[in-house]
Structure 1
C-alpha cells in the first residue's frame, strides 16, 4: 500500500481502500478442490479482524486516521467475499456437527471426539465474526461515503 495524506494533512496513513483490497483475497473461498476452512482459519480470522476494524473506524463520527471505504467496495466485500465465506464455513460446520453426533453414538467414544468438538467451536466462532462483518457492511453501505 501507498502512504497517503489524510484530510488533516498527516502523512503516512494507509488508505482503508488499499488495506481492504490487500486482505480481501484472503477471504475468498477456494474453488475446484475439497478445501477445508479449518486449514486456513487463522488467516481468515486475521483478515476478518482487519475488515471489521476498517469498517468500524471508517464509520466513526469523528475523523479517524483511516479514510472511509467506498460504498461499492463494502458491497463487493459483502457479496463476493463475506457471504460466500459464511456459507462455506457453515457448510463445513454442519458436516462436522454430523460427524460429532455419529462419534458420540459410538461406544467407546473415539479419541478424535475432543478435537472434533474444538474444531466445531472454532468454526462457530468464525461464523460469528463473519456475521458481524456482514452486519457492519450493511450498516456502512447506508452512509454513502466515498473514497
Structure 2
C-alpha cells in the first residue's frame, strides 16, 4: 500500500536505520521478519514472535516496485516490468524462475539516465514501462533500454 499511495514513504521504511524499519531488524541480527518493529530491543530481550509474515511483504515491494517485475498472466507468460528507482538506491537486480525460464531485470543510473537490462524467457512477452512513461513490448531474449 505504501508503494501504491506513497512511493517515497515505502523507500523510507525500507532504508530507515531506526524503528520502524526492516533495517533495524537486520542490524539487531534478524534472519526472519519480526512481529513488532522492535521485536528485539537494544537490551536483547525478545518481546514477541521473531518469525512473522505480516511485514515480510517487503520482498514483494522489492520485486514489484524496485525491480519492477509484475505478473500479468498466470505463470508469467505475460508480465510487466516497471522499475521504480528511488530512496537513494543506486542499482537493483532481481530474478524470477518462471515455468518458462528465468526472468531477470536489473537497473542502474548512469550519466543521468537509467539503464535497464531485461531477460525475457522463450514463450513469454513483457510489457516494459520506463520511468519516463515510454512503453514497449519485449519478446524472448536480452534487452537493454536507456531512459
TM exceeding 0.5: no
The structure that is strand-richer by fraction is: 2
The structure that is helix-richer by fraction is: 1
Q: Could you say which structure has the greater relative contact order, defined with CA pairs below 8 angstroms and 6 or more residues apart? A: 1
TM-score, with normalisation over the residues of structure 2?
0.30
